[in-house]
Amino acid sequence: IERIAVLTSGGDAPGMNACIRSVVRTGIYHGAQMFGVMQGYQGLINDEIIPLNSKSVSNIVQRGGTILKTARCLEFKTPEGRKKAYDNLVKHEIDGLVVIGGDGSFTGAEILSREYDIKVIGVPGTIDNDLFGTDFTIGFDTANNTVIEAIDKIRDTAASHDRLFFVEVMGRDAGYIALWSAIGGGAEAVLIPEKETSVDDLVDKLMVDLGNLKTSSIVVVAEGEHGGGAMAIAEKVKERFNYDTKVSILGHFQRGGSPTSFDRVLASRLGQAAVEALLKGHNRKMAGMISNHVALTSIDLAIKNKTEMDETLIELVNILAI
Ligand code: F6P
């Protein structure tokens, strides 16, 4: 491996830039030629491949988003799209590819490297924290801190007005942000896709809470819950429980911002690990962090396996809400 390209794909996540920087500088340190692909897989198809040097990644460790930009690319899902992508890799004589993204991005990488002679290593970059083979994904910690800051502020106004708030956070298929921010933000309840909660049970709990000790409550809701997120659940609750209720949807605010120290260090370590894995001849692996050690997991497993949601965390929300 002598010429390595890096791309970011799927939803952006704070810390992606720190990871790009680490990939580029680790490659240069070991004598490789480094390239960046703009717009994820779309840039591979359109030949938007640019050489990167150490200076190209200066002053980005602290920046949210991704300097390489990102996209969700449908054309790459077709054999014709992947052929174009591979032809462009050959044109630039690139023999190793680092893909920073989530499971959709890894699926693309896996297929490309099975069809063609290109080695790929994935780095988990998504705020959702929903990948097997790593304790944390790049961006999760920053997103949680952003959510906690919002919940703290919502709590001030909820308490002043004696209101019930439904706060919707990101995670279409994964409840990690919801669960972590519910614990860290002191929410009364959490609704996540991994565990079904009936509206009746939720209303019973809120009636007890708000009828007794509490005058305000915060319920964290993962987007997509009950077929429409916080708005849908609030409507259903209001049908049974007449309380001053508000909905706050945090939205893409959660995906931006300067990465936390944790995310910067995680991104830097995984970027280094990805490049060194390529240089050692690894292929179709994801560089993750397990118990504070870098661990390579086959991309195949990282995509197929689901990390079990820790039931004790769900229980903790309930314990802390009494
Ligand atoms: O995967 C990250 C994520 O932010 C999810 O939490 C969310 O469901 C999705 O991306 C939103 O995607 P988009 O930005 O394309 O609307």
Give the pLDDT confidence of 74-96 residue by residue, as tens digits: 999 999 999 999 999 999 999 99
State in Å: Cα 229 to ligand 1 middle.
14
Task: Give the global pTM.
Answer: 0.97
In this prediction, residue 212 carries a pLDDT of: 82
Tell me the pLDDT tens digit for each residue of 167-178. Answer: 999 998 999 999
Owner of token pair 């939803």:
11
Residue (of 149, 106, 134) closest to 256 by Cα position: 149
Q: Residue of the nearest CA to atom 2 in ligand 1?
A: 11
Q: Residue of the nearest CA to atom 8 in ligand 1?
A: 172
Reported confidence tier of residue 310, pLDDT bands at 50, 70, 90: very high
Query: Which entry of 128, 141, 209, 263 is annotated as an active-site residue?
Result: 128
- Answer yes or no: 200 catalytic: no
269 is in an annotated binding site: no
pLDDT above 90: residue 65? yes
Tell me the pLDDT tens digit for each residue of 126-166. Answer: 999 999 999 999 999 999 999 999 999 999 999 999 999 99
Task: Judge if the beta carbon of residue 171 lies within 6 A of ligand 1.
Answer: yes
Task: Judge if the beta carbon of residue 127 lies within 6 A of ligand 1.
Answer: yes
Rounding to the nearest 10 degrees, give the CA dihedral for residues 284, 289, 291, 295: 30
Owner of token pair 């990390």:
307
User: How far from 178 is each of 186, 223, 296, 309, CA to CA, in Å?
Assistant: 12, 9, 27, 12
Element (H, E) at 150: helix 140-161
Distance CA 289, CA 302 (A): 12
134 is in an annotated binding site: no
Q: Residue of the nearest CA to atom 6 in ligand 1?
A: 171
pLDDT above 90: residue 236? yes
- Give the orientation angle of helix 79-91 with respect to helix 103-115, to 10 degrees: 70
Task: Judge if the beta carbon of residue 126 lies within 6 A of ligand 1.
Answer: yes
Tell me the pLDDT tens digit for each residue of 112-125. Answer: 999 999 999 999 99
Task: Judge if the beta carbon of residue 272 lies within 6 A of ligand 1.
Answer: no
CB 31 within 8 A of CB 93: no
Q: Residue of the nearest CA to atom 10 in ligand 1?
A: 11
State in Å: Cα 85 to ligand 1 middle.
25
Q: Is 245 exposed, middle or buried (0-12, 13-18, 19+ CB in 10 A)?
A: middle
Task: Judge if the beta carbon of residue 102 lies within 6 A of ligand 1.
Answer: yes
223 DSSP 8-state letter? T
Task: Judge if the beta carbon of residue 128 lies within 6 A of ligand 1.
Answer: yes
Distance CA 250, CA 281 (A): 42
In this prediction, residue 226 carries a pLDDT of: 81
Report the nearest atom of ligand 1 relative to the CA of 224: 8
